[in-house]
Each structure stands twice: as structure tokens, then as C-alpha cells.
Amino acid sequence: MEETFSELHNYSKYGIYTIFDSEDILLPNIEIKIKRISENVFSYNRKDTEDNISEQMIPTKSNKLTIELSPIRPLNYPARRTNYVYLDLDTPIFLSEGSAATIFARCPIEIGVFIVHDKHKDSLDWFTCDPVSSRFGLYGLPESGTLCKYAKSEIVESYEDSIPFVNAVLKINLQNDLDEGHSISKIVFPISDNSIYYKNSRAIIDSVTAVLRKKLTLEILDVFSKPAQTDWTLAPTYESTIPVKRMDMGVD
Amino acid sequence: MTLEFLQSLNEIEITESLTLLSLLIGGIIMAVGIILARIVRLIFTKYYAPKLPQDTAKNLAKLIYFGIIILAFLVFTSSTGLDLSGLLVAGGIFGIIIGFATQSVVSNLISGIFLMIEKPVKQGDKIELPGSDISGTLLDISTFSVRIRRFDGTIIRVPNESFFTSNIRSLTSTPVRRSDAIVGIAYKEDIDGAISVIEKEIYKSMSFVLMIPKPEFRINELADSSVNIEILVWHPREDWDEVGPKLLKVAKKALDSAGIEIPFPQRVIWRAKE
């Protein structure tokens, strides 16, 4: 999926691009300018709507610069504090006793810019196109809860329904193994276990399975990740991944 | 030749039971003990300490180092046949004198041991000692004192005894913290409207404020000139400086933009008729 920026008209696609001279990239709320400043040096300049500027020089071995623009996990803005994501479903899902359902929900993402060279991908920059919705939330009590990246999540119809550069779609398999009906209104899971895939300007995330079940005497919502079966391109990982303990959610 | 030299050393008596040769052997044992203690401490620091909490690793390293040196000293005394019973008798008398003189030192030592056992806070925690107006990052808990780097960059040493008996407020032991601010609006203004504009501005411009638990607004006081609204917001424990000092600024900006008056104290003076 390699193409030059001149072939890409409105930069509304994720993917690998080769820059020979100077190019501007326009994304929602973000403007990126990449400019050749000498034979083997490019400058990278990103500006957001509040005129915050991030600038870097990129020396290259050849006379071109290859970058990859891809979705990354929503863990870096405003600061890296957690590996967990708290999806607050806009409509709670009611599961009667022994039933199961599959839904598609939107999950926020951030954008990563990677330098591609010698088959390696180095992280150059990251940003969010929707800073106002990129917030923290606490699952549990202030003294013992889990800090999460919080997002209101809309339920959508399919993997195609993500908003370009703002969110990705996540398949959630819900299952109720309890002997009574329950509503599920939120899902909390460590997103560092999930990979992100992209195609054109759409993105999807590895699915999660949430099972309502009994653990000893407690009713819990057991949430775990499952790799997505897809032919979409696997996005590179921005942050260093460390194993995170899975958490049992309580049932409301 | 060497044997003769050693024999001559053995013949030189320093005390009744101590010869120059045994003193030399003892010195070698002590030197070997010190070198061994340093090597073991180095190996421990390099390979095992990174897997342990910082303060535990530091204390264990000290324990290993001094443990080996004490062991070497015991080997030295037994190999030389040094009789320390005289010292013990003298030590008994001196012990009482020194005990009185070093009361605070011993107290700090004991407090330090209890601090290491109880671990009310750990190295790197941000703490506050409310009674003594000390706050900052805990650098280490050592044998006699605790070192705290204050938020102004200076380092303060607090004796263990004083630290152990103080109230200690940990600022980083919970995942989130709450910051608050009080802002006054004029009596003629709509309270709900003012709260709504402040809330919107907080959501818009304070990215570290938590969405859950939501910001809370309470009427703090019907004061002389204003209705005082208390704003309470939660944020990640590390990010107080991104929220606490900025909260009032954000509230004022929101009220100014909405044209809501923040009154200042006013006094009506009635002049008596002459």
C-alpha cells in the first residue's frame, strides 16, 4: 500500500507514504507540514487548532522520507497514565438469563506517525484529532479504583462505521451465564492487549468478550480480548507494551 | 626465610594473648571480609536489587554489607584469641553513660527500624507532614533520618523519631486526587447558569480532570458580598499541578466569558446628620 503524497489527494487514508519533497497533511483539527530542508534532511511540523506546534528534524539515508500514518491505542493524550479503557455505552444492553449478543461499539484512537526505514518502524510523533473527548475516568472507588481512559461509546452497525482519525470500531461479544437478567452499560479492559487494524481511513480494534458470571459468591463481568480475524493492515505499536493484569468488573 | 620472618612475628607479643602475627592474620581476615562484603553488595545491587522495591533493596544491601563485616570481625577475634571480656565489663559502665548521651540517636535508630517494618510510605511517594508544614517527595528512609525533596527543590532531613511520630499524609497512594477552589458570584446572578458555564469550561480546557467522578459544585457560603461556589474536581494523582493551580483561572475565564459578575466586598456608609 505504498503511494506518494502527490497521489493522495486529501490525506484521508492511513498507510505508508513516500515523500520526496514537501507535503502538507490535513487531518481533523491537525495540520502536518513535512518539508525537505537539505539533501538528506526533512523537517516535520505539526500544528493543532490551538496553535500548539511540535517540530522535529529528520535526517534520512536517502533522498526520500517514508512514513506510516496509522491509528494507535488511545493511551497517550493528555499523558500516559494507564493501560485501561472505560467505554461508557450510550445505550445499556440488557441480557436475559443465559443469552448472548454481539455489538459493535466505537472506541477512541490516537494517531501515530512512524518513520519507515530498513523494514523498521520508529515512532516519530503521536496526537489526537479529538482532544476534547480524550479524558480520564475512574472505575471503582477513589482509594482503590482503576484509572482509565474514558469515552462515551456509541453502538454502531458494523466495522465500517468508525469516524476517520477519531475512533475505531470494536466488536464486543456479550454473554450472560448468570441465572438472572442484567444490563451492561460499561466495559473496562486493558487496551494494551488489543491490536488495531486499518483500511483506508477506517480502523478496528481486536474484539473483547464480556461474560457475566459468578466467581465464588460474587457476580462479575469478566472481560477479555480476542484477536480480530481480518485482512485489514495491522497498525504498528506506538508505546512499549507491558503485560497488564486483567480486571474483574463488578455487576451493577 | 619467609617462615623465619613469620616465626619472628609470632614471637613479638603485643598483649599476653596477642602476637604481631595473629594481628596480621586478623588484619588480612578483616580486609578479605571488607572486600567480600563489597563484592557481594555489588552483585546484589546489580542483579537482585532492580527486582525489589527501592527502599527494601537499599536496606538489604546494607544488611548484607555490615553482616559480612561483623562476621569477619567475629572470625578475626576468634582466630586471634582476643579476649573481649574486659571490654564487656568496661562496656557495661560506658553503655550507661553512652546510653544517656545517645538517647536521641538510639531513638532515631529504633524509629527507623519500625519505619522500615511498617512502611507507611515508600521511596518516591509524594508526602506531606501536616503538623510541620513539610511536603515533597520522599527520597529515602535511612538508619537515622528521612530525606524529603520539597516541591521548591530543596532537600530537608527529618529525624526518624520525628517522622515516625508525625501525621503523614500520602499524596500518591491512591490512583486519583481531588482539588478544590472557591469562586464567588454576585447575588443577582443565576447559580445554576454559573455552575453550567464553569462545568463546560472545565470539560473543554482541563484535560486532566476526570469525567467520572464528575466535577462537583457546592454552595459553600452566602457571604457578605457573594454567593460562594465550591468546585471539586478529581484528577490523576500525578497531575495536581495541571489542575489545582489552574482551577480558579478556568472558573474566572468561564464567568467572564458569560458576563457573570464576580463581586468584590462593598460597604455602604451612612453619614449621620450633623
pLDDT tens digits along B124-170: 889 999 888 899 999 988 888 999 999 899 999 999 999 999 999 98
CA B106 to chain CA centroid, Å, is 20
With vertex at residue A54, the alpha carbon angle to CA A49 and CA A56, rounded to the nearest 5 degrees, is 150
- Check CB contact of A143 with chain B, cutoff 8 Å: yes
Write the ipTM. 0.85
| Domain around B125 | 119-170
- CA torsion B247-B248-B254-B260 (nearest 10°) is 150
- pLDDT digits 0-9 by tens, A125-178: 999 999 888 999 999 999 889 999 999 999 999 999 999 999 999 999 999 998
CB A88 within 8 A of CB A126: no
- Check CB contact of A86 with chain B, cutoff 8 Å: yes
Mark whether B150 and B196 lie in a shared domain.
Answer: no
- pLDDT digits 0-9 by tens, B187-214: 999 999 999 999 999 999 999 999 999 9
| Domain around A237 | 2-250
State how far the Cα of B146 lies from the Cα of B115, in Å rounded to an integer: 10
| A136: closest chain B residue by CA | B210
State how far the Cα of A241 lies from the Cα of A192, in Å rounded to an integer: 6
Residue B25 lies in a domain: yes
State how far the Cα of A166 lies from the Cα of B177, in Å rounded to an integer: 29
Cβ-defined contact of B236 to A77 (cutoff 8 Å): no
Least CB–CB distance from A78: residue in B175, B207, B212? B207
Cβ-defined contact of B212 to A142 (cutoff 8 Å): no
Residue B72 lies in a domain: yes
Residue B107 lies in a domain: no
- The confidence score (pLDDT) of residue A211 equals 92
State how far the Cα of B199 lies from the Cα of B233, in Å rounded to an integer: 10
Q: What's B188's domain CATH number?
A: 3.30.70.100
Total domains in chain A come to 1
Q: Which of A238-247, B74-83, B245-254 has the lowest mean pLDDT?
A: A238-247
Mark whether B124 and B143 lie in a shared domain.
Answer: yes
φ, ψ of residue A80 to 5 degrees: the values are: -80, 110
Interface test with B, best of A81, A130, A141, A144 (most B CBs within 10 A): A81
- The confidence score (pLDDT) of residue A5 equals 41
The answer, yes or no, to whether residue A250 has pLDDT greater than 80, is no
- pLDDT digits 0-9 by tens, A224-245: 888 888 999 999 887 655 556 6
Domain boundary pick from B170, B201, B236: B170
Residue B103 lies in a domain: no
Cβ-defined contact of B174 to A146 (cutoff 8 Å): no
Question: Of A156, A177, A175, which is closest to residue A167 (Cα–Cα)?
Answer: A156
State how far the Cα of A122 lies from the Cα of A189, in Å rounded to an integer: 27
State how far the Cα of A85 lies from the Cα of A210, in Å rounded to an integer: 14
Interface of A with B in 150-189 (CB under 8 A): 150
State how far the Cα of B34 lies from the Cα of B71, in Å rounded to an integer: 10
Residue B263 lies in a domain: no
- The confidence score (pLDDT) of residue B93 equals 76
Mark whether B222 and B237 lie in a shared domain.
Answer: yes
Mark whether B133 and B185 lie in a shared domain.
Answer: no
pTM here?
0.76
Q: What's B134's domain CATH number?
A: 2.30.30.60
Per-residue buried b or exposed e for A180-191, using 16+ beta carbons within 10 Å of the residue's own CB: eebebebbbbbb
The answer, yes or no, to whether residue A194 has pLDDT greater than 80, is yes
Total domains in chain B come to 3
φ, ψ of residue A71 to 5 degrees: the values are: -75, 145
Least CB–CB distance from A137: residue in B210, B238, B242? B210
